[in-house]
Chains A and B, each alone.
Chain A
Amino acid sequence: MKIFLVLRSSFFVLSSSFFVLGSSSIKVFAANEAQGTKNQEQVAEIYRPQAGKFPPVEKAHAYRGELIFVDHANRRGSIRVAGEGMFRRNDPHPFAMLPYGMVRYHGAPADLRDIPLGTMMHVLAYLPPDPRISAVPVLPENNKEKDAGHYRGAGVFPAENHVLLIEDEASYCLREGKAWKLKEVELQSSNQGMILATLEAKQSGDGKATEQKLTFDGALRIWRGRECLTIAELIAEGAWPASGKKSLNAPSVLLGLTWKPTPDGIFQRFHISDIWLDDAAIQRAAKNQTETHTALIRGRWMPAFVDTVEYGKFGRATVTVTLFGGMDSSLYADFNKDSPVLINGAENTLKHDGGHYGPGHLASRGTILGVVKTPGTAPMGSSGIQVRFETDLIIEGIRPGRVVRIHPKGWPDVVLPREEYLGDGPRQEDRFPSPAIFPKYNL
């Protein structure tokens, strides 16, 4: 099994669906010719990301599910993974963000704290890079192939729980160039009903995609330009019927999806929380989320991998780091040659190593010697931007392969809340959070 997905263009645009990628991965495992050599081949195929390197996206496993729980300070949470069985029975499945793992919401960079619980998220994930220090439970490598029983089916507890990308439906559609086409709406009462829709390529959809039934209710937000409309307003405008069915002529929209318990024994049906009717509306949502994330990163510093350290004398060194990807371009533009910089050791959770008086207190200082855009397409997780700087305080936290956070001139010098740094003399569990907080469910 070699690479079966071709990266065709830049960074965010992949030539095919990650869903296809995920299912193809399972099928290839199943298609190994010689039964006797299957175990041996599977062992050979096991891939784990390595510290200090960005993993190839084609090795990731794709799935989606409902966000149930978030521990944003440790960049982990739980998701109810969608399989082919009874969705409601799927226990919340713990996941941890890789240090360079990206969160996207409303088509913009985000932090886990920005995502409302209940949101349906798309995930690209790997096996734990180092199972001994995983912040979430470690499962057998082939767990996604096992039927979980109790009408849940396979794939709902994947061992690939270290996340490179987690994004909501709107972000997924924008990244993949897809859109929802609304075919028909049915009002079952004044404020709830069902929509028949297809998910297809925004520009060249042929209308042949499988139709999906999605529910909505009185909490639905409908965004049009700067307006946030209700169902009653669409009815008053004549766009939607007061009751019964109406064909919608397949307008192209973006949807926010959640899940609610479904009556009538339906295994899996998602619920529409938001509809963005036009580009202006989604651009406004993306702008707001971008501003939120930009402010967060300016306060918490840009995360990066240490690529190389050229040691000098008396604690002096020249360090090259690669900035993590997926941020707003204005943040990268703040790193300029000859300007001062602060750098601080961080953990895989991106927590600062020290911060009781603010991360700037114990950080190493230096000057940026150069900012280089590496040639070619950067792998997902990387910005493709290397920053070379010199410091007179090279410390253990700034070694090749380590995660650091870096602060250029002009960003605010603020103190962080207590849960976002390790504190003095951190204990083992501060650096490597225990997976024991996640409940184990019995049926």
Chain B
Amino acid sequence: MRLCLSCFSLALCLGASLLAIAAEEPFRPEQGKFPPLDKSVAYRGELVFVDHATRRGSLRVEFKSEFFRSPPTPFAMLPYGMVRYHGAPADLRDIPIGTIMNIRAFLPPDPKNSSVVTTPNHWYPLPLENHAILIEDEPSLCLREGKTWKLKEVDLQNNQGIVLATRDSQDAAAAKGPEEKLTIDSTTRFWRGRENLSLADLVAEGTWPASGKKSLGGQSVLLGLIWKPCPDGIFVRYHISDVWLDDKATQRAIQSQTEVHKSLIRSRWMPAFVDKVEYGKFGRATATVTLFGGMDPSLYADFKKDGYTGAINGAENTLKHAGGSYGPAHMASQGTILEVIKTPGVAPMGSSGIQVRFETDLIIEGIRPGRVVRIRPSDWPKVYIPREEFLGEGAKIEDRFPRPDIFPVYR
């Protein structure tokens, strides 16, 4: 009896310890599942380096100290990670170096296969959450969160100066943002309707002063932000690269970037997770996939049921096609779209919430539950993709799992 009690106590203690460990266990996304956004870490920084073919890069992460000392910190996009630029879907290749980006990221799902470093190599308080589910520029963040910049005052000297502004919610009941000082100069582009104006144009119109201060009356705009080294020991102060003065101008920027991205996805195919595979005979199977999110609705609308044909190809976490020397369609599994299902409720970030059931007579290792695939309806253009965007035959291990050692270590 005593032994039993002891065992029971031990089991309780062990159970409690395991629970405690589980509670302390950091969250990592799992393969084939979209992680809850509330488990992600948010930060922002300057885009310093891009390796778009393997969907990774470096950010100079903002922290409460001397920004210039923050060494470029590598990040990798999760396979379903989304890039947004000018309020529209984008690819890392579309983002100019130097742009201030807002990021939501997790710890590496599988540190062994991470394409970026998983341990800190410096003493700065930089995040270990370097696998991004969302990376977006300032206008995209503002549009998504319903915020705008309110311009309070400008102070100009010799074609450069300081703008005093707040980033406020469009919800009148929400608290106002703090006043921020932002720099501006003759490189700043002002977008008004179809016009691309310079600072000199605004001065000539009398909207802005040639020199000295002028109140801007809380004018509501969107801003593109970059960073330039600041004099006078300023730790962090951003620079305005673009000002969208009206909705029409913003909509034109959105439309242009949307077209760029649509063209990319139609030629590179829609990325998706394989949810399940119902195996048939002689290599036949029906695969259910969930299309990744954040694309233009017209792309999803191209997936139509009842006899629409298409093709599906294995891909890596970098979204590189597994084969493509003769175009990705050459080795892809052909088939028919049986069904397109909108899953109920709000889709998690990274997911479109759209499932496609696809029957093929060539079920391969790359099309297994949890794997990343790329899928195309047959009326998308059938093109060959450039060499760096597919693995090639007899792919080496480092082609599938890019090594993090291309990133310099700064001391």
Contacts and interface: CB of A to CB of B under 8 A. Distances in A.
A437 B406 contact: yes
A92 B386 CA distance: 9
Interface in A187-230: 191, 217-219, 221, 223, 226-230
B213 interface: no
A229 B194 contact: yes
B110 interface: no
Interface in A68-83: 68-73, 80
Interface in A102-130: 113-114, 116-118
B98 interface: yes
A425 B53 CA distance: 33
B411 interface: yes
B383 A291 contact: no
B259 A217 contact: yes
B189 A288 contact: yes
Contacts, number: 148
Contact of B229 (A261, A414, A419): A414
B27 interface: no
A418 B187 contact: no
List the 3 closest A-B pairs by CB distance, nearest first: A218-B259, A261-B383, A414-B229
A414 B201 CA distance: 29
Given A288-B198, A418-B68, A419-B410, A299 B229 contact: yes
A176 interface: no
Which interface residue of A89, A90, A114, A226 has the most chain B CB atoms within 10 A? A226
Nearest to A228: B196
Given A88-B386, A89-B387, A291-B186, A419 B197 contact: no
B388 A227 contact: no
Interface stretch (B43-51, B304-312, B335-343): B43-51
Interface in B98-146: 98
Contacts of A429: 408
A287 interface: yes
A369 B185 CA distance: 33
7 contacts: A113-B97, A218-B256, A288-B187, A356-B69, A429-B408, A439-B398, A441-B387
Contact of A442 (B68, B186, B394, B411): B394
B51 A295 contact: no
A119 to B, nearest CB: 11
Contacts of B398: 439
B229 to A, nearest CB: 4
Contacts of A80: 386-387
A315 B230 CA distance: 32
B46 to A, nearest CB: 8
Contact of A261 (B71, B186, B384): B384
Interface string B192-217: 00111110010000000000000000
Given A226-B201, A423-B411, A260 B263 contact: yes
Contacts of A299: 228-229
Contacts of A69: 51-53
B98 A113 contact: yes
Interface string A422-443: 0111000110000011010111
A439 B198 CA distance: 41
Interface residues of B, number: 61
A229 B385 CA distance: 29
A295 B196 contact: no
A288 B185 CA distance: 10
A171 to B, nearest CB: 18
A424 B411 CA distance: 8
A141 interface: no
A291 B186 CA distance: 7
A226 B196 contact: yes
B387 A88 contact: yes
A166 to B, nearest CB: 16
A289 B120 CA distance: 37
Contacts of B53: 68-69
A223 B94 CA distance: 20
Nearest to B239: A295
B388 A68 contact: yes
Contacts of A308: none
Nearest to B51: A69
A307 interface: no
A237 B69 CA distance: 52
Contacts of A88: 384-387
Contacts of A245: none
Contacts of B194: 227-229, 233
Interface string B246-266: 000000100111011011000
Interface string A343-374: 00000000000001000000000000000000
B379 interface: no
A415 interface: yes
B378 interface: no
A181 B72 CA distance: 44
A248 interface: no
Contacts of B393: 442-443
A287 B199 CA distance: 12
B387 A416 contact: no
A92 B381 contact: no
Interface string B395-411: 11011000000101011
A375 interface: no
B68 A419 contact: no
B247 to A, nearest CB: 16
A417 interface: yes
B66 A92 contact: no
